[in-house]
Amino acid sequence: MVQPDPDKVKSVSDPEFYYSHEFSSPRPDTQLESWDETRKKLPRNRAAVLAVIERFGGAPLWKVAAELGWPVHWVSGRITELRRLGLVSDSGSRRANPATGKSAVVWILVDRREFDKGPSFL
């Protein structure tokens, strides 16, 4: 596989990272347009996820998805981003998903004083 030129690509958030390999579309302009639209929605979507977690004082992914009416995979990506930004963390609690019976992490907002220490990338 052809790797992106490290001098051109500054980070994985750079669309060039995703379109500079052998699997890229013959029409990257349409993909870049789609990426640009998606990227504009991310802050609003993260805020919606945070609002649900805050409203319930913590919530598992399935609860957030149900409250927002979104597919679980939309929420899981936002949870990952929020965790990496240091805005949410694993509460240590688990809640059973009523649909599957399996336990799920209950996500909570990070105390703002903890946020001042910097993001956690774990």
Distance from C-alpha of 53 to C-alpha of 61, rounded to nearest angstrom: 9
**pLDDT tens for residues 63-94?**
999 999 999 999 999 999 999 888 899 999 99
118 Ramachandran zone, left/alpha/beta (phi>0; psi -120 to 50): left
Cβ atoms of 18 and 36 closer than 8 Å: no
Go through the domains of the chain in sequence order and give each one's CATH number.
15-115 (1.10.10.10)
**pLDDT tens for residues 2-58?**
454 555 544 545 555 444 444 445 556 666 676 677 667 778 899 999 999 999 999
Instruction: Encode 6-23: b = buried (16+ Cβ within 10 Å), e = exposed.
Output: eeebeeeeebeebbbeee
Please tell me the pTM assigned to this model. 0.62
Residue tagged 């030129």 (tokens): 5
